[in-house]
Amino acid sequence: MSELAGKTVLVTGGGSGVGAAMALAFANAGARVSISGRSETRLQMVADNHESITSVVADVTDEQSVMDMFATCGPTEIVIANAGMSDSTSFQKTEIASWQQLIDVNLTGVFLTLREGLKQIPEQSGRLIAIASTASLKGYPYVAPYAAAKHGVIGLVRSLALELAKTNTTVNAICPGFLDTEMTDRSVANIMDKTGKTEQQARVALAAHNPQGRLISPDEVAETALWLSREGARSVNGQAITLSGGEI
- Residue 151, pLDDT score: 98
- What is the value of pTM for the model shown? 0.94
| Confidence band, pLDDT 50/70/90 cuts, at residue 1 | low
Can 142 be counted among the known catalytic residues? no
How do residues 197-238 score in pLDDT, each as one tens digit?
888 888 888 888 999 999 999 999 999 999 999 999 999 999
Identify which of 10, 55, 11, 1 has the alpha carbon closest to the alpha carbon of residue 218. Answer: 11
pLDDT digits (tens, 9 = 90+) for 21-34: 999 999 999 999 99
From CA 152, how far away is CA 184, in angstroms rounded? 21
Domain boundaries, the chain: 8-179+217-243
Mean pLDDT score, 183-187: 72
- What would the CATH number be for the domain defined by 8-179+217-243? 3.40.50.720
The arithmetic mean of pLDDT across residues 38-52, rounded, is 97
Amino acid 108: pLDDT: 98
Which residues, at least 6 apart from 164, have a Cβ–Cβ distance to it below 8 Å? Answer: 118, 124, 128, 170, 171, 237
Any long-range contacts for 208-212 (C-beta under 8 Å, 24+ apart)?
209/134, 209/177, 209/178, 209/244, 209/247, 210/177, 210/178, 210/244, 210/245, 210/246, 210/247, 211/245, 211/246, 211/247, 212/245, 212/246
Per-residue CA distances from 114 to 173, 210, 215 (Å): 12, 30, 28
The span from the CA of 153 to the CA of 108, in Å, is 9
Distance CA 185, CA 88 (A): 12
Residue 243 and residue 177 in contact, taking contact as beta carbons nearer than 8 Å: yes
d(CA 121, CA 51): 23
Round to whole Å and give the CA distance between 67 and 62: 9
Vertex 91 angle, CA 87 and 96, to 5°: 70
Of the candidates 26, 70, 111, 146, the residue annotated as catalytic is 146
Contact 35/23 with Cβ under 8 angstroms?
A: yes
Which among 173, 172, 174 has a CA at the least distance from the CA of 243? 174
Q: Are 126 and 79 in contact (CB under 8 A)?
A: yes
